[in-house]
Amino acid sequence: MICPNCGNEGGEGKFCVSCGGPLTQMTPQPQAQDQQFQQNQQFQQQGYQQQGFQQQGYQQGYQQQGFQQQGYQQNQFQQANNGQPTIYFDGEGMEYLPIMLVNGLLLMVTCGIAFPWVVCRNLKWRKSHTIVNGHRLAFTGTPGDLIGNWIKWWLLTVVTCGIYHYWVNIRIREWEMSHTCFEDDYHGDGMEFNDCFYDGEVGERLGQELVAGLLITFTCGIAAPWAVVKLLKYDTEHTVIHGMRLGFNGTGAGYWGENAIVGLLMGITCGIYNAWGICRINKWTYRNTFIQSSGNVKSNY
C-alpha cells in the first residue's frame, strides 16, 4: 500500500514502515489497480464472449430450425405435386344416376336436338366434382353458347362428308376449356377465361386417332385400352387450367383393369352400375393426372 504521508511503500500493517505514520488513509497501489482493472476487463471480455457464443448458438439453432421447416415445407410441396391427390374427382354414382337418366330421356324425346343441354349438364356436374391443386372447378358454358357452334359444326361435317368431325373434337374441347374456371373465380354463366384453354392441333390429334385405330384393328380390339390411354394422354397434356398445364401417367393396363371391373359389375346389375362405373373411370383418370408445369404457360387466344 502507498503511505499518504511519505508516499513510499507502506507495507501491509497499520503503520508505514518508512515514516511510521498511520496507514488508515492509504490508497491501493497503481499496479494493483491495474491488475484488478485488467482482471475485471478479462472477466467482462470472457462474459461478452460467452454471451456472443450463446447468441451465435441461438442464431445457428434458429437457422437450423428454419432450414428444417423449409425442408419440411418443400417435402410437403413435393408430396403434393408428385403424389395424389393433387388432382382428384369426388363425384358419386348415386348423384350422377338421376342426371344420366334425365339426359337419356331428353335425347330420346327430342331426337338428339337436346344434345347441347346434355353436354352442358354433364360438364357442369363433372367440373363441379373435380379439384385441381386445392381448387374446385366450375363450368360457365350454357346451351345457348354451344347450340350456335353445334349447328355450324354439324353443317360443316355434312358438307365435307364427315371429314370435319375431326375438327369438331378439337372445337368442343376448346369451347369447354374456355368456359372452365376455379369455383372461386366463377361470377356467372357465359364467362370465358383466356388462361384456361386446350391447344391440341387437328393434324396431331388426327395422327393420334389413326394410330389408335390401327392398334385396335390389327389387334382385334385387344389394344383398345392402350389406344384410349394414348388419346387421353394427348388431350390431357394439351389442357391448361389457369396457367397450369396438365400431364397424364395412366397406363393401358390400368385402364383395362378399371373397365374390366366396371363391365363385370354392369353385367351383374343388368346395367344399373353404369353411373357408378362412369364415376369410377373419372376417378381413375384424374388420379393419374398431374400438374406438369405452371406460371409460364401462354394462351393461344
Tens of pLDDT, residues 11-31? 566 666 666 566 654 444 445
pLDDT digits (tens, 9 = 90+) for 116-137: 999 999 999 999 999 998 899 9
Instruction: Please state the pTM of the whole predicted model.
Output: 0.68
Over residues 281-297, the pLDDT tens digits come to 999 999 999 998 765 44
The burial of 169, by beta-carbon neighbours within 10 Å (0-12 exposed, 13-18 middle, 19 or more buried), is given as middle
Contact 281/256 with Cβ under 8 angstroms?
A: no
Q: What tens-digit pLDDT sequence spans the chain (301 residues)?
A: 566 666 666 556 666 666 656 665 444 444 545 555 555 555 555 555 555 545 555 445 444 444 344 443 333 333 344 444 489 999 999 999 999 999 999 999 999 899 999 999 999 999 999 999 889 999 999 999 899 998 999 899 999 998 898 899 899 999 999 999 999 988 888 888 889 999 999 999 999 999 999 999 999 999 999 999 999 999 999 999 999 999 999 999 999 999 999 999 999 999 999 999 999 999 999 999 999 876 544 444 3
Provide CB contacts within 8 A for 287, sequence distance 6+: 84, 85, 87, 88, 89
